[in-house]
Structure 1
């Protein structure tokens, strides 16, 4: 497959973009990233004209695929034609917030922001402001954006920043515990409970090869936060409006957090983030309360139109039935392939998420299990071979892969053939 244009573009990009990219994960593919020219349904076409089945889907936002339904496209074009943005409220913000509050169990009020990172930063600040406490419990291997409070590695007893540029003093307020380890979470609360402002947790680790919760884990976190006066924050930036349908993952797992962060699908493919939660908590944000939060582009009219129309389209059509069915077909087919060709590997995911993790000791229970998998083999050998077969997978072993409404049964079969050849 000829990818000379991608290679040449990457060569040029290295002179003017840091690492040749604008987000670190994009530099992961070997030997260089694929530069995309356009999307087409469930596919992308690269700068050389090669066509791929696309399971990246913008890293999750594109529930409907690259070709937006006419109603969504018309709404976006109408809003764009009426002016880029205003710096003032619009009716669309109200309608979008009403839709979210109507469908998501934890949400009574919403504050729209511009990214998942901004949403989690604001939610942690809100939790600290409400409780008057500083410490935040996070999961080892969980990802909550590029923010100082969560770029922390280690464990509850010894931890430090996972990035240069973050003072060690910041890390002392963040306590990592293993995902699915209820005993360690309980121990941390017994030791630090009076100082913990919140637990920030993904419903499943969706940026770490996909690790699903064991029975009772989220219920334990709910009980611990209730008992110690801390807040439970669910980061549904990835799972929101994908896992569990319009009710999000919290409806699937029947746990109601105090606050929820959103991104990706809630903006219909445009830059977005949001925080939702109970009225008494959300009204601690300015201008009602004392926790400052603001943003020039928050509630951008084009994003609001794309997000609201996307969710309304999903509500009125068979979107979740379709994507979940294809997700199930993919996982079933992959399990059959893995069972005979790579029995140590694990097929993971739920609803419209899927992945094969190159594990060695059974399905992963936490982020450490994924770290111990054959990550380099996935990144450097397996993914490039599948790419040559015309199938675009996520940029590394840790990122999720996503089914869209535009994907077809033919795309599934072509992908299973590529996995069969590569494994």
Structure 2
């Protein structure tokens, strides 16, 4: 497989970009990442003309794949042709807000921002402003963007920053607990309940190998936060409009949080984030309240058009039936392969999300520590490259999720399963 152009591009990038990339995960691929030239349906083509079946889908936002249906493309192009942006409200942002409010159980009002990180940062600030409290409970291994309040590791007794540049004093207001561990949550509420503004959790750990909640876990979080006057925040940046369709994962689990953060699909592949929830809470954002939140590009008309056209197309066509059926076929095929060739591994996922986790005992992970104890180096250093050589592009490490799009076909599934057989 020729990679001369990608190697040359990476050499140039090292001279002008830190680590040669603009997001750290892209440099996980060794010795250098391949550079994509364009997308085609469920595939990408790199700078050297190599074609790959793409199960990364931009890390999730490309529900429809790389070839957008004509009405979606037309709606985006129309907005782009009318002008870049204006610094004033536009009708399209109201249209998208109304769509989300109609379909997502927790959302009565919504504020659009520009990334998932900005969404979770604003949600944490809003929770603190609304409750008058300081502390946030998070799950170990949960990912809530590149923000100071959640780049925290350790446990609730000894939290510490997970990145340089974050003061220890910031981390002391964040209480990490294991996912699916009700006892740890009880402990932090017993000790800090009067100062806990919110529990911030992903409905499914989607950035740490795909870990499902145990029965009753989210119901427990809903109950204990209500008991203590804290908020429950679902980070649906990954699961939103993938798990549970238009109602998102919260509708799948039947648990309604106070706030929900969004990203990915809600912008149809363009930069976006959003915070939705109960009107009385969202109204605390400026200008109606005193929790400052603003952004020049928030509600960008092209992004709003991309999100609305994508979600409307999904609502009016067989998008969810297609992607969920492909997801089922992949997981069923992978379970057969794993049972035959690597019974210690685990197939994880739901709806249009999937992953083979290189566990050591065949047990589905219950928390981030279980995933961390898997054979992560084998996955990244050996397996990933073997799949790439067969023309299959998987997420760059053991922890990132993989996604199905409307552009994927049964042929893509069969070729991918054959590649797994060879690589495992």
Range into which the TM-score falls when normalised by the shorter chain = over 0.9
Question: Is 2:32 the partner of 1:32?
Answer: yes
Aligned counterpart, 1:413: 414
1:69-84 correspondence to structure 2 within 5 Å: 69-84=69-84
Aligned counterpart, 2:317: 317
Aligned counterpart, 2:131: 131
Aligned counterpart, 1:280: 280
Aligned counterpart, 2:110: 110
Deviation at 1:31, TM superposition (A): 1.8
- In structure 2, C-alpha distance between the alignment counterparts of 1:118 and 1:402, rounded to whole Å: 23
Question: Is 2:384 the partner of 1:391?
Answer: no
Aligned counterpart, 2:183: 183
Aligned counterpart, 1:174: 174
Question: Is 2:355 the partner of 1:350?
Answer: no
Runs of 4+ aligned residues of structure 1 deviating over 4 Å after TM superposition are none
- In structure 1, C-alpha distance between the alignment counterparts of 2:185 and 2:340, rounded to whole Å: 38
Deviation at 1:3, TM superposition (A): 1.2
Deviation at 1:12, TM superposition (A): 1.2
SS of residue in 2 equivalent to 1:349: strand
Deviation at 1:44, TM superposition (A): 0.2
- In structure 2, C-alpha distance between the alignment counterparts of 1:206 and 1:232, rounded to whole Å: 18
Aligned counterpart, 1:64: 64
1:341-380 correspondence to structure 2 within 5 Å: 341-361=341-361, 362-380=363-381
- In structure 2, C-alpha distance between the alignment counterparts of 1:335 and 1:398, rounded to whole Å: 19
- In structure 2, C-alpha distance between the alignment counterparts of 1:9 and 1:94, rounded to whole Å: 41
Instruction: Tell me the TM-score normalized by structure 1.
Output: 1.00
Question: Is 2:234 the partner of 1:234?
Answer: yes
- In structure 1, C-alpha distance between the alignment counterparts of 2:342 and 2:29, rounded to whole Å: 22
Aligned counterpart, 1:404: 405
Aligned counterpart, 1:219: 219
Deviations 1:353-390, CA, capped at 9 Å, x for gaps? 00001011311100011111100100010000100000
SS of residue in 2 equivalent to 1:247: helix
Deviations 1:183-206, CA, capped at 9 Å, x for gaps? 111111111111100000000100
Aligned counterpart, 1:198: 198
Deviation at 1:159, TM superposition (A): 1.5
SS of residue in 1 equivalent to 2:350: coil
Deviations 1:300-342, CA, capped at 9 Å, x for gaps? 0000000000000000000000000000000000000000111
- In structure 1, C-alpha distance between the alignment counterparts of 2:276 and 2:110, rounded to whole Å: 4
Deviation at 1:349, TM superposition (A): 0.3
- In structure 2, C-alpha distance between the alignment counterparts of 1:282 and 1:259, rounded to whole Å: 8
Deviation at 1:157, TM superposition (A): 1.0
- In structure 2, C-alpha distance between the alignment counterparts of 1:253 and 1:30, rounded to whole Å: 38
Unaligned residue ranges in structure 1 (runs of 5+): none
Unaligned residue ranges in structure 2 (runs of 5+): none
Instruction: Tell me the TM-score normalized by structure 2.
Output: 0.99
1:126-165 correspondence to structure 2 within 5 Å: 126-165=126-165
- In structure 2, C-alpha distance between the alignment counterparts of 1:83 and 1:290, rounded to whole Å: 32
Q: CA RMSD in A?
A: 0.5
- In structure 2, C-alpha distance between the alignment counterparts of 1:5 and 1:339, rounded to whole Å: 39
Deviation at 1:96, TM superposition (A): 0.3
Deviation at 1:32, TM superposition (A): 1.1
Aligned counterpart, 1:52: 52
